[in-house]
Structures are given as structure tokens and as C-alpha cells.
Amino acid sequence: MTFKKHKKPWPTRAVMEQIYKQHFWGGKDFDFYSGEGSHNPEITQPYIDAVNNFLKSHNCQLTVCDLGCGDFNVGKELVPFTLKYNAVDIVDDLIEKNKGLFNPKHLKFECLDISQDQLPKADCAILRQVLQHLSNKEIQQVLDKLSTYKYLILTEHIPIGSFTPNIDIIANSQNRLKHNSGVDILAEPFSFKVKDFKVLCEVILNDNTLIATTLFRL
């Protein structure tokens, strides 16, 4: 009798280090490159405008924790409209690179595994196209920590129209789109409890998918 071997997932930190080392998200001319979603102005500008409008509506007095800040090409545009900005990523070399490039007084970079480590305190958490690369177990571990924030700004790449939410994957460079799935934290198995929510912006892409940014009040 033969037994099928189950693929053992890499630790998520090793996965993310490999993604940047092998340039799985493109940007061969960059040491670290967080992909088109962080560099294509047609995707990034509507997001930056929407989030900054929210931050300005609070007189630029919110403290923010960016969970999965990546190469910080987007985050750097948000920092001026915050009281304090904590930028977190799991890849240590990436964090060290960012520390050398960006240094406003109210900006702090930290290397953390957001599913395992204690998260910095803040008024508002940002998760921009991060959960979509994680397993359901890791997503749940992150969600369990978010109740300490007043707001969550969540961005996910999802199919347009009907799809099956939250099909489980192992942490990797891809998302759930090839399974006609995407992350919906309000749906099972997460059923995340929020006070209310509203869509801040949506960017429709040519492949019949969209990148949706939603503001949740926790």
C-alpha cells in the first residue's frame, strides 16, 4: 500500500523571504519589490486618496499600525497624515532596508510575524493585500488580535461577482483567485464581528477581478 505524501508548508517567514529573494512579485531591478499592487498608480492612487481622506477626517491625529508594510512604496504616502505610524513586516532584511530609506520622526519599523507576535498598539490597523497570502489558521490568528484597534482598513484582491469565500491555502506568493475565492472576514469560518463597515474604494482590473478596500469600525 502506498500513501500520498502531504506537502508540508514552509514557515511563513521563510516563504516571504523567498518571495523577495526570487522576485516572485516582479521588480528584478529592486532589492525588495512588493508587486504591481504596490507600484501601479492605477491601483495605488485611488487607495492612497481614499485612506488619506479618512485620516484627514480625523484631523491627522490617528495612530496607525501597518501590518505587512512591504517595500513601503504606498505606506510612505500615508505617514504625513498620521500622528504616529508603525510599519510591520515579517522579513527582517526588508525592514532594515526600509529603516535606511524612510525616517520621519513619527515613523517606526518593526520586524514581526503578525500571526504569532504581539501587535503594536494604535487607533487604526491597515492590512493591504496581506491576508490573501495566508492560510485560514493564520488569518484567524491575526483577526483574534484586532479587537484592540478602533478601525481596520482591509484591502483584498477578490473575484467580481459570485465566489466561494475563504477557501484555505498554505502561505505563498499567490492568492485564492485561481480557486475563484477571496478573503471575506465577515464570512465563515471567520465571521469577524464589527460594529459597521463601508467600502473606501474599489479598483476593477482587466481580468474580471477587483481590489477592494473596506473600512471596518471595531
Determine the distance from the C-alpha atom of residue 168 to the mean position of all C-alpha atoms in its chain, rounded to a whole number. Answer: 17
10 has pLDDT over 80: no
pLDDT tens-place string over residues 19-45: 777 776 676 776 777 777 889 999 999
Q: Where are the alpha helices (DSSP H) in the chain?
A: 12-21, 41-57, 92-101, 136-143
Burial class (CB within 10 angstroms; exposed 0-12, middle 13-18, buried 19+) of 178: exposed
pLDDT tens-place string over residues 162-207: 999 999 999 988 899 999 999 999 999 999 999 999 999 999 999 9
- pLDDT for 62 equals 98
1 has pLDDT over 90: no
Measured between alpha carbons, how far is 81 from 58 in angstroms, rounded to an integer?
9
Q: Are 94 and 104 in contact (CB under 8 A)?
A: no
Q: How far is CA 31 from CA 16, 28, 148, 209, in A?
A: 14, 8, 34, 29
pLDDT tens-place string over residues 103-133: 989 999 999 999 999 999 999 999 999 999 9
Q: Which amino acid is at 55?
A: L
C-alpha cell at 182: 477571496
User: pTM of the predicted model, to two decimals?
Assistant: 0.92
What class, spelled out in words, does domain 12-217 have in CATH?
Answer: alpha beta
Determine the distance from the C-alpha atom of residue 171 to the mean position of all C-alpha atoms in its chain, rounded to a whole number. Answer: 13
Q: How far is CA 67 from CA 2, 26, 121, in A?
A: 43, 21, 12
Nearest to 126 by CA among 69, 180, 82: 69
Task: Mention every residue, 6+ apart, whose C-beta is less than 8 A from residue 207.
Answer: none
C-alpha cell at 137: 489558521
Measured between alpha carbons, how far is 26 from 28 in angstroms, rounded to an integer?
6
